[in-house]
Amino acid sequence: MRRAVPRIAAFVLLILGALLGGPSPVYAVNVEKVVSPGGIEAWLVRDPTIPIISVQFAFRGGAALDPGDKLGLARMVSGLLDEGAGNLDSKTFQRKLNDYAIHLGFDATQDYFIGRLKTLKENRDTAFDMLHIAVTSPRFDAEPVERIRNQMLAILAQKSEDPDHAAALAWSRTVFPDHPYGRPIDGTPETIAKITAADLHKFAKERLARDNLLIGVVGDITPEELAPLLDSTFGELPAHAAKDTVGDATLRGSGETVVSNRDIPQSVVVFGEAGVKRDDPDYYAAYVMNYILGGGGFSSRLTEEVREKRGLAYSVYSYLNPLEHAGLVNGGVATRNSKVKESIDLIRAEWQRMHDSGATDVEMVNAKAYLTGSFALRLDTTDKIAETLVAMQMDHLGLDYLDRRNALIEAVTKEDVDRVAKRLLDVKALTFVVVGQPEGVVSTSAPAGDARPAAAAAKPAETAAPAQSMSNPGEAGSRPPANAPAPDPQSGAKPSGDTAPAPSN
Amino acid sequence: MTALRLFLVSIAALAAFALAPAQAGVFNPETFRLDNGLQVVVVENHRVPVVTSMVWYKVGAADEAPGETGLAHFLEHLMFKGTDTVKPQEFSKIIAKNGGQDNAFTTHDYTAYYENVARDRLDLVLKLEADRMQNLRLTDDVVLPEREVVREERRSRVENDPNALLSEEMAATTYLNLPYRRPVIGWDHEIVQLGTDKAYAFYHTHYAPNNAILVVAGDITAAELRPMVEKYFGPVPRRDIPPRVRPKEPPHHAEKRVTLKDARVNQPQWTRSYLAPSYHEGESKYVDALEVLEQILGGDSSSRLYRALVVDEKVAAGVDADYQPTAVDLSTFTLSASPEPGVAVERVETAMDAEIAKLLETGVSEDELARAKKQLLATATYARDSMSVAARLFGMALATGGTVDEVESWPQRISAVTVQQVNEAAAAVLNRENSTTGVLLPQPAS
């Protein structure tokens, strides 16, 4: 019966929304703040319908804090926290996770160190205990350290084959030559080789603390059950993290075009310029504007011009990329070498058209209808809800954000969009990186460093993925995955997510 | 490191998850069938007032005529190009204007179209899907640019990626006669010959309610859904659908090897695929045991191959085992590994062969079996978290000739697997003469 209450409330809201002609409000997800006796806070959405619990958490401060000669440190810690802790060595620790079907994993973005725990309700206490020792007493034994080091090297080598990855890295290197955002999260072979067990211990001790910790919990658990688990899991962490020394970033290389030669039939193009940070008063206006320009898939101008009218690309897109220390608007396209110039010219033209003329009334109506109506689709699994709860805390959006969010979109006017387009979209400042052999496109500046060598970004230190096996009869979709168009350069901001800047790439 | 795979929260990960019926749980769906043959499955999930609607057609790339590779997938793209009443390019815009997301995908065995929408927009979605089931309108001015889009898709997915090129070569070698040897997206020289007439012919041959399954998962009941389905899909006429007769695979007598050298490669890969039964072809009695074997060999960081090749011998940075029995024809059981930096692929192959020999000689233990079952059964509970996973599992099963019960009874069948069955299945499948070994290597610059 507990479930009936929010569902009826949601139904009433939907009806009211329809009657008033307003947006369909997001259904009533009830977000509760749980504070443990020891003062540790978590945001909780109870869902007793399935006997599982999903926990996501993040510590502020990520790979951007890696020492310059030890790039890859945060990622390496993320690969090792579940490789032995307390009195359990790697083998024993992993075996216990596997035997209880507990999913525990960590990751690092430029801005955050992130963790996820998913468990069946029946194994709840064991799962939280495993998390507890992982974050408070990781071992960093020699065997797993060397194994994960080698996995990171294999992943670097594999990623270096991927032109999307190379383009994203080169773009970040070009615009952030003097800021940590320009460095590879995954490190380089040289920096990975330098990381010692002492570095790993130091990171865990300095970065995993109570004052930079954000927690989201979803599933079959009550506040009364959760509160003591928060203390037993995180209570032993130090009160304060070391000072976050990363400063705000200034974009360089504005308006440059960088070509990185690679013998492939299709060039991969990444572009971008300064955008808005998450707390910018124009954030929602920029969000609506980007949907119309290049965020809205088949409803976007870029897709219409580049793909639908001319068949130049399978994928063309733009997205807001709000990092902690820089706001960006990024985009990309992949097209045969002979058509790169035409595609770039079209993108520039659309950039200029939006800057000059803004949006139409019809585009405004359609954009808002999609952005408000689709919001609930992001909250359809426990993992997605937990991720959203953490993102809301990262961005200081407040416990009632889910209820307010659609009104924030609705409040954006055409004038707001026109103004923000003029403010942000400067075609002369757009920086392009092309990996491939584009015809008629030349570099305006030398590539910032070699685009080829093993580098970094998107994924955590997962097991190097063996080549796609054949038994899944190769799916081929009509278009790129809706939520994952972007070879996100460095941070992990989701392409078109307005609440979820960092949790995952 | 397996736990870290959790972070692969891409669509690809979802697809992989969904593509393993290993994840099925007890969804308790309701089913009904219209007079025109349309099969309907409803999976209730009332967490949020949204639904996933999927229309599955029992036709895929393996049903194409020789010389027309890519046609099923090309038609999938063209299904968004309008009908008698929906203008070209409007379909997805209408869905978006209603707060929905839509997309589609094609495999060798099926083609599926889906929308995720608020439950109060389901009526609209069903109307649009029923409309394009019978009233597709194609003209060269939308078809020909889309053909270029598909060629760009092929460049992105295949030609820019040496791993994907090797997968194509391996498929063409693994199957001597089955159309699974051809790529779903098509060979480029045949894609360029596809056009409006061929797409129409394929559409009119295969798209009909009696060759389709509608799966709706989410905040809806069968009683609520049925009147809407009858209203929109009820009037769509049946067609005579040609039987799904495909060339069958002959016995294999020689192990095969494919080596692809490419200057772009920095991380070599090793893969071996063995022909294996599906639910509907080959020695189907082994499919449940093979799913357990997949888990024992490569399911997690405590699995045999990970412990042996990655932790103990340190010849590989990563390993995987992969088996998918939901297919119309013969499937494959695939093992793969990424060599540690500096380790020759030959050493990885030697270590893998030793593990396979050990398995065939001494078999799996009761303890391994129990642990694998526990893990697999947990995935069934986790699968209930996602309505799109549920929709995919039923769609895949029914589109390949399976039943709702095939998904629902999965936990019971896995629970019943014995050590002897796993050992027999391993012996039946892991034969070199039924295998293709694929190696990806760097091509030193000349």
Q: Give the model's confidence band at A476: pLDDT under 50 very low, under 70 low, under 90 confident, else very high.
A: very low
In terms of domains, do B225 and B263 share one?
A: no
Chain A to chain B Cβ contacts (< 8 Å): 352
Residues of chain B with pLDDT under 50: 1-24
On whether both B98 and B191 belong to a single domain, the answer is: yes
Same domain, A316 and A224: no
B180 CB within 8 Å of a chain A CB? yes
Contact (CB, 8 A) for A24 and A373? yes
Identify the residue among A131, A468, A483 best suited for mutation to test binding to B, counting B beta carbons within 10 A and taking the highest: A468
Alpha helix ranges (H) inside A358-400: 361-373, 382-394
Report CB contact under 8 Å: A161, B167: no
pLDDT at A253: 79
| Residue B200, token pair as written in the block | 């129409």
Give the mean pLDDT of A290-315: 96
Domain boundary (A192, A219, A234) is at: A234
In the 8-state DSSP scheme, what is residue A20?
H
- Does the pLDDT value for residue A485 go beyond 70? no
Please check whether residues A136 and A283 belong to one and the same domain: no
Whole-angstrom Cα distance, residue B178 to residue B163? 22
Q: Are residues B359 and B213 in the same domain?
A: no
- pLDDT at site A279: 96
- Do B211 and B270 lie in a common domain? no
Asked whether the beta carbons of B186 and B77 are under 8 A apart, the reply is: no
Residue range A82-107: mean pLDDT, rounded? 97
Percent of chain A surpassing pLDDT 90: 81
Q: Please tell me what DSSP assigns to residue B84.
A: S
- Residue predicted with more confidence, A469 or B75: B75
Residue A287 located in a structural domain: yes
**Boundary residue ending a domain (A405, A436, A467):** A436
User: Among A88-97, A238-247, A473-482, where is mean pLDDT lowest?
Assistant: A473-482
Q: What is the pLDDT of residue B47?
A: 85
Number of Cβ within a 10 Å radius of residue B164: 19
8 Å CB contact between A185 and A490 = yes
Same domain (yes/no): A184, A277: no
B69 touches chain A (CB under 8 A): no
pLDDT at A27 (0 to 100): 52
Kindly state whether residue A458 falls inside one of the protein's structural domains: no
pLDDT of A331 over the 60 cut: yes
Q: What is the mean pLDDT of residues A239-261?
A: 94
- Percent of chain A at pLDDT > 70 equals 83
d(CA B214, nearest CA chain A) in Å: 19
A257-261/A431-436 β-pairing: parallel
When pLDDT is averaged across residues A277-296 and rounded to a whole number, the result is 97
Q: What is the pTM of this model?
A: 0.89
Domain of residue B329: give its range: 256-442
The residues pairing with A278 across neighbouring beta strands, listed in sequence order, are none
Which pLDDT does position A446 carry in this prediction? 64
Burial of A457 per CB tally in 10 Å (0-12, 13-18, 19+): buried
When the pLDDT of each residue in chain A is averaged and rounded to a whole number, the result is 86
Res A16 pLDDT > 50 = no
Give the position of tokens 């468990």: A119
Q: Is the pLDDT of residue A504 over 70?
A: no
Task: Kindly report the CATH number assigned to the domain that includes residue B43.
Answer: 3.30.830.10
Catalytic residue among B30, B44, B68, B76: B76
How many angstroms separate the Cα of A173 from the Cα of each of A165, A437, A469? Answer: 12, 20, 33
Same domain membership, residue B229 and residue B302 = no
Q: What is the pLDDT of residue A448?
A: 52
- pLDDT band, residue A471 (cuts 50/70/90): very low
Residue B217 within any structural domain of the chain: yes
Q: Is residue A246 a part of any domain in this protein? A: no
Sheet holding A41-46, edge to edge: A32-35, A41-46, A213-219, A52-60, A112-120, A103-108
Tokens at A333, concatenated: 């396209």
Local structure of B49: helix, strand or coil = coil
Does pLDDT of A451 surpass 70?
Answer: no
Query: Residue A22's pLDDT is what?
Result: 36
Comparing alpha-carbon positions, the chain B residue that sits nearest to A219 is: B385
Residue A53: pLDDT over 50? yes
Cβ proximity of B16 and A475 under 8 Å: no
The verdict on a CB contact (< 8 Å) between A473 and B107 is yes
pLDDT at A14 over 60: no
Model confidence band, residue A459 (pLDDT cutoffs 50, 70, 90): very low
Q: How high is the pLDDT of residue A463?
A: 32
Closest in B107, B116, B337 to A475, CB measured: B107
Is residue A416 assigned to a domain?
Answer: yes
Residue of B nearest to A309 (CA): B145
Question: For the residues A59-66, what does the mean pLDDT come to?
Answer: 98
**What CATH number is associated with residue A276?**
3.30.830.10
Q: In which domain, by residue range, is A38 found?
A: 4-10+27-234
As a whole number, mean pLDDT of residues A40-50 equals 95
Give residue A79's pLDDT band: very low, low, confident or very high (50, 70, 90): very high
Provide the pairing of β-strand A257-261 with A213-219: unpaired
Same domain flag for A267 and A217: no
Number of domains observed in the structure of chain B: 2
Active site residue B281: no
